[in-house]
C-alpha cells in the first residue's frame, strides 16, 4: 500500500506556510524516508521561490478559490477565507491575520496515499516516531494528550473543548487509512464544518473562528456514538508543543532551541533546548525566521 505525508499550505499576508511546508517536506524525506504531497493555493510562488520543490514534493495539488471551486470534486466551505485570529510573536507582539484552515476535511479525497499522515506545517520533525503509525492496526490515530514544554501554564482547553465539554483532539497530526469508516468520518467532518454555527452552539464553543481541532473532536465524539469509544486511537510517542508566547530561537539539525515564556515576568524568557524531539511550534513568525536561517545554510 502507498504511504505518505499530506500538508496544507495557504499563506496569509504575513506568514509563509508554503516555506514551512517545504522545510518540513525536506525533513520528512531525510528522517522518515517518505514522500510528501502539498495542497496549496500558492503553486506559482512555491515553484518560483523553491526551484527544486518538484523533487522535494511527491505531488503538488493546486487549489484556486472561487465561490464554486472544488478540489477533485470536493466543494469548499461556504465561509472559506472569512476567519481571522490573533497571532503572537512572543508575549508582547501580536496581530490579527487571516486564518485559512478550512480545507482539512478534504484530506481523505485529495490524498494520493492509501495510508496518510496529515501534518500541520509548523511541526519540526526530529525523530522517526511517526513511522510506527504505519505499523499499527488502528486505522485512525490522533493525539488527545499533549505536553507544554514551558511546564507551568494551564491549558485545560487542550484537555476538553470547554469546562463541561467533550474530549479535545489535536487535528495538528492525524493518521488515517482509506477505509469506509474513515470515509464516513471525513464526510461527517465536512457536514460539521458546513453547519458550524449549529455545532458550535450545541457544543458550546465560544471562539469566533472555526478550528479543525474542535471539528475533529466533535466528529470523533459522534463516531463513538456520543460517548467514550474506540474509533480513534493515540498516535505513537507524545505531542510536545510550545505556544505562540514562546520564541523558536534556533534549529540546528535535530536540536531545537527556544526562549520559553517566563512565569509571572512578561517579556522575559528562559532559554531551553531539546534534541531529537518532534515539536509543534505555534509561534509561526519565529519558526519562519529559524527556517530562513536554516535554508541559507543548506
* 196 is a domain residue: yes
Classify residue 233: in a domain, yes or no: yes
Helix residue ranges, H only, 34-179: 43-49, 53-56, 107-110
The 10s digit of each residue's pLDDT in 207-258 is 878 999 999 999 999 999 999 999 999 999 999 999 999 999 999 999 999 9
Query: What pLDDT sits at residue 84?
Result: 86
In a domain, 248, yes or no: no
Neighbours of 75 (CB within 10 A): 13
For 146, half-sphere exposure in the C-beta direction (CA atoms, 13 angstrom radius) is 29
Q: Report the alpha-carbon distance of residue 131 to residue 138 in Å, rounded.
A: 14
Q: Is 291 part of a structural domain of the chain?
A: no
Res 81 pLDDT > 50? no
pLDDT tens digits for 4-50?
A: 999 999 999 999 999 999 999 999 999 999 999 999 999 999 999 99
Note the pLDDT of residue 65. Answer: 57
What pTM did the predictor assign?
Answer: 0.93
Edge-to-edge strands of the sheet including 59-62? 59-62, 36-40, 3-9, 115-119, 170-177, 140-143
**Whether pLDDT at 53 is above 50:** yes
Which residues constitute the domain of residue 111? 3-242
pLDDT exceeds 90 at position 145: yes
Return the half-sphere exposure (C-beta side, CA atoms, 13 A cut-off) of residue 248: 28
**DSSP three-state, residue 252:** strand
**60-79 confidence digits (pLDDT tens):** 999 865 544 444 444 344 44
* Domain total in the chain: 1
Find the CATH number of the domain harbouring 150.
3.90.550
- Residue 17 near residue 121, CB atoms below 8 Å: yes
Is 109 part of a structural domain of the chain?
A: yes
Amino acid at each position: 500500500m502507498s504511504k505518505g505525508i499530506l500538508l496544507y499550505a495557504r499563506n496569509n499576508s504575513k506568514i509563509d506556510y508554503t516555506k514551512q511546508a517545504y522545510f518540513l517536506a525536506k525533513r520528512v524525506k531525510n528522517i522518515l524516508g517518505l514522500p510528501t504531497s502539498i495542497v496549496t493555493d500558492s503553486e506559482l510562488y512555491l515553484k518560483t521561490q523553491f526551484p527544486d520543490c518538484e523533487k522535494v514534493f511527491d505531488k503538488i495539488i493546486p487549489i484556486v478559490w472561487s465561490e464554486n471551486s472544488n478540489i477533485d470534486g470536493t466543494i469548499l466551505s461556504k465561509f472559506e477565507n472569512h476567519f481571522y485570529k490573533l497571532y503572537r510573536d512572543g508575549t508582547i507582539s501580536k496581530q490579527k491575520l487571516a486564518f485559512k484552515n478550512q480545507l482539512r476535511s478534504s484530506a481523505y479525497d485529495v490524498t494520493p496515499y492509501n495510508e496518510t499522515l496529515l501534518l500541520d506545517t509548523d511541526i519540526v520533525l526530529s525523530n522517526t516516531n511517526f513511522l510506527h503509525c504505519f505499523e499499527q492496526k488502528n486505522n485512525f490515530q490522533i493525539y488527545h494528550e499533549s505536553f507544554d514544554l514551558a511546564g507551568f501554564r494551564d491549558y485545560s482547553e487542550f484537555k476538553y473543548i470547554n469546562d463541561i465539554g467533550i474530549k479535545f483532539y489535536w487535528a495538528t497530526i492525524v493518521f488515517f487509512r482509506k477505509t469506509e469508516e474513515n470515509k464516513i468520518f471525513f464526510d461527517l467532518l465536512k457536514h460539521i464544518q458546513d453547519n458550524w454555527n449549529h455545532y458550535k452552539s450545541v457544543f458550546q464553543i465560544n471562539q469566533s473562528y472555526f478550528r479543525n481541532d474542535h471539528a475533529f473532536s466533535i466528529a470523533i465524539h459522534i463516531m463513538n456514538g456520543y460517548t467514550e469509544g474506540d474509533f480513534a486511537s493515540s498516535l505513537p510517542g507524545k505531542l510536545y508543543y510550545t505556544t505562540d508566547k514562546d520564541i523558536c530561537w534556533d534549529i540546528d539539525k535535530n536540536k531545537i532551541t527556544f526562549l520559553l515564556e517566563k512565569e509571572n515576568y512578561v517579556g522575559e524568557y528562559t532559554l531551553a533546548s531539546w534534541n531529537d524531539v518532534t515539536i509543534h511550534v505555534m509561534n509561526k513568525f519565529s519558526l519562519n525566521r529559524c527556517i530562513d536561517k536554516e535554508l541559507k545554510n543548506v
